[in-house]
């Protein structure tokens, strides 16, 4: 990835107590040194590899108003970042679990598209050995575990007012989502639900296979083709395009996948991001609950694994050897 950095600055939020966060504001922009470019490319690399939500600014967003002033030239990037960091400090102070960190504001261009990325990065201690083999402590930015990052596609925001996806942000994992207060700070709400789009796609593919009366082998092949197409798009950093995906599925004189989707109420966008977890359903069946976790390849259903909907039970033929060993040890049987 090669980015053209227009403006970049760092500020710092230092947690002092449950209700107090100290500000350390930089008074000048960073230069375009190689280390600066490496930082932004690393942030983007981590960001692109994590699950994201898609959103848009609400009508009352103070952040959006400030961004508009920046774009109109009524304030410079440094002042914009300083005032925005103050707003972020006020939002973070409401949540004792939210730590401080180094705040990165970067306006850059990539492939003729303008972006603004905002990240809050924690610092970690590490050991440094110098040329005299003496040990000292050093700090580094923990980019690999960053979970407070948002990116605004400025080009789409300015040219497509109806868009529900020009703002993307990472989703938190535990407790109250880390992303919640970050979205409050941005004055934004969730827009396009990529996971829901992918789940709907899986259902549409299965329904299409049933409509086409595919046998088990043809259905497995169709699901495999769709999965491979989506994985290729994911690896290339591209989105799913329905018209291209439709080419991966068999057609008949009376039916094709694009027409099937249009004539049904699936509410699929023409293009949408790949959600890796949702697409696993094309390859595997899995579920957990009540102390039980089960996962198996979808092509095993009806072969080694049979489901009886009347009794809500699974019959497994050919228990995996490592599981069989555990069962034998537990039962005391050597058979």
Query: Does residue 282 carry a pLDDT above 90?
Result: no
Nearest to 118 by CA among 152, 159, 74: 152
Mean pLDDT (the chain, rounded) = 85
Task: Tell me the mean pLDDT in the region 123-136.
Answer: 84
Please give the pLDDT value at position 1.
58
User: How far apart are the C-alpha atoms of 204 and 264, rounded to whole Å?
Assistant: 9
Cα-Cα-Cα-Cα dihedral of 75, 77, 80, 85, to 10°? -170
Q: Extract the tokens encoding 322.
A: 């490592």
Residues 6+ apart with CB under 8 A from 197: 268, 269, 272, 273, 275
Please give the pLDDT value at position 27.
93
| 37-to-42, 44, 48 alpha-carbon distances in Å | 9, 11, 16
223-247 confidence digits (pLDDT tens): 889 989 998 888 887 889 999 999 8
Q: Extract the tokens encoding 210.
A: 């049933």
Q: Kindly state the percentage of the chain with pLDDT values over 90.
A: 25
The residues pairing with 289 across neighbouring beta strands, listed in sequence order, are: 292
Task: Tell me the mean pLDDT in the region 94-123.
Answer: 87
288-309 confidence digits (pLDDT tens): 888 888 888 877 777 788 888 8
User: How far apart are the C-alpha atoms of 172 and 182, rounded to whole Å?
Assistant: 10
Query: Tokens 């600055």 label which residue?
Result: 9
The residues pairing with 123 across neighbouring beta strands, listed in sequence order, are: 141
Q: Extract the tokens encoding 164.
A: 């529900």
Query: Tokens 């259905």 label which residue?
Result: 219
Phi-psi region of 293 (alpha: psi -120 to 50; beta: other; left: phi over 0): beta
Q: Extract the tokens encoding 152.
A: 């605004």
User: How far apart are the C-alpha atoms of 274 and 233, rounded to whole Å?
Assistant: 7
- Tell me the torsion sign for CA atoms 280, 286, 287, 293: negative
12-42 confidence digits (pLDDT tens): 998 887 778 889 999 999 988 889 989 999 9
210-221 confidence digits (pLDDT tens): 888 888 888 888
């Amino acid at each position: 990835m090669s980015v053209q950095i227009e403006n970049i600055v760092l500020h710092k939020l230092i947690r002092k107590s449950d209700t107090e966060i100290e500000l350390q504001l930089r008074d000048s922009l960073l230069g375009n040194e190689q280390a600066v470019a490496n930082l932004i490319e690393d942030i983007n690399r981590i960001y692109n590899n994590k699950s994201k939500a898609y959103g848009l600014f609400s009508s009352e967003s103070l952040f959006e108003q400030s961004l508009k002033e920046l774009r109109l030239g009524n304030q410079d990037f440094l002042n914009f970042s300083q005032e925005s960091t103050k707003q972020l400090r006020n939002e973070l102070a409401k949540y004792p679990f939210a730590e401080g960190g180094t705040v990165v504001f970067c306006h850059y261009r990539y492939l003729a598209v303008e972006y603004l990325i905002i990240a809050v990065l924690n610092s970690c201690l590490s050991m440094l050995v110098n040329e005299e083999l003496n040990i000292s402590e050093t700090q580094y930015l923990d980019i690999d575990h960053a979970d407070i990052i948002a990116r605004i596609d400025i080009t789409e925001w300015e040219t497509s007012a109806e868009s529900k996806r020009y703002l993307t942000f990472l989703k938190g994992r535990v407790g109250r989502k880390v992303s919640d207060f970050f979205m409050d700070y941005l004055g934004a709400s969730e827009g396009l639900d990529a996971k829901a789009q992918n789940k709907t796609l899986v259902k549409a593919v299965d329904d299409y296979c049933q409509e086409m009366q595919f046998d088990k082998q043809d259905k497995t092949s169709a699901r495999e083709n769709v999965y491979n197409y989506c994985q290729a798009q994911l690896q290339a950093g591209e989105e799913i395009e329905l018209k291209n995906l439709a080419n991966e599925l068999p057609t008949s004189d009376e039916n094709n996948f694009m027409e099937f989707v249009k004539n049904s109420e699936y509410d699929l966008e023409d293009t949408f991001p790949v959600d890796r977890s949702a697409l696993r359903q094309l390859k595997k069946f899995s579920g957990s609950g009540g102390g039980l976790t089960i996962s198996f390849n979808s092509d095993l259903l009806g072969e080694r694994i049979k489901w009886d909907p009347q009794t809500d039970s699974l019959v497994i033929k050919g228990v995996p050897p490592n599981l069989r060993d555990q069962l034998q040890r537990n039962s005391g049987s050597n058979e």
